Amino acid sequence: MEVAQEEGLMRTVKDLFAGAMGGVAQVLLGQPFDIIKVRLQTTSQYSGAVDAATTIWKKEGPLAFYKGTLTPLIGVGACVSIQFGAFYQAQRILERYNKDNNTGRKELTLGQYFLAGASAGIANSVISGPIEHIRFVRALF
């Protein structure tokens, strides 16, 4: 394998890993809020978010806020990983395009950043829909 290919592969692996860790952090911080939101959406026994949080804490304990967390950890970690990987891969392709076509630009244009972001969103959407559905269903039980 050429040195440039190895460097490109390592950069992609780093992008994917960074995205996965960002997704894990997102789930660990956001899961309690998702549990409260789903409970408020599916039952009328709570008067509001604070009532739901205190009732869940008192009756079920603090671990109840992380019920069903494994699936989102895997799913969101994968989604954000793909999103990071796709964004930075698109960014590198567009940077190479600028260099190869002698555009005189080192930085991407706003339109090119938009294109890189849209590419990341499209790549992410392929798996995020089914994963979000599973996450919602698991939070109910």
* Residue pair 91/34 in contact by the 8 Å Cβ criterion: no
CA distance 102 to 4: 21
Report the pLDDT value the prediction gives residue 3, as an integer from 0 to 100: 59
106-129 pLDDT tens trace? 789 999 999 999 999 999 988 887
Report the pLDDT value the prediction gives residue 132, as an integer from 0 to 100: 74
Question: In Å, what is the CA distance from 118 to each residue of 21, 91, 115?
Answer: 22, 11, 5
Hey, where are the domains in the chain? 3-140
80-103 pLDDT tens trace? 999 999 999 999 999 999 988 887
Residue carrying structure tokens 């603090």: 62
Q: Is the pLDDT of residue 4 over 70?
A: no
Helices (H) then strands (E): counts for the chain: 4, 0
For residue 16, which of 81, 91, 106 has the smallest C-alpha distance? 81
Report the pLDDT value the prediction gives residue 135, as an integer from 0 to 100: 65
Report the pLDDT value the prediction gives residue 76, as an integer from 0 to 100: 85
Q: Is the pLDDT of residue 2 over 90?
A: no
Provide the mean pLDDT of the chain: 89
The pTM for the full model equals: 0.71
Q: Is the pLDDT of residue 66 over 90?
A: yes
> Could you tell me which residues come within 8 angstroms of residue 132 by beta carbon, excluding any fewer than 6 positions away?
75
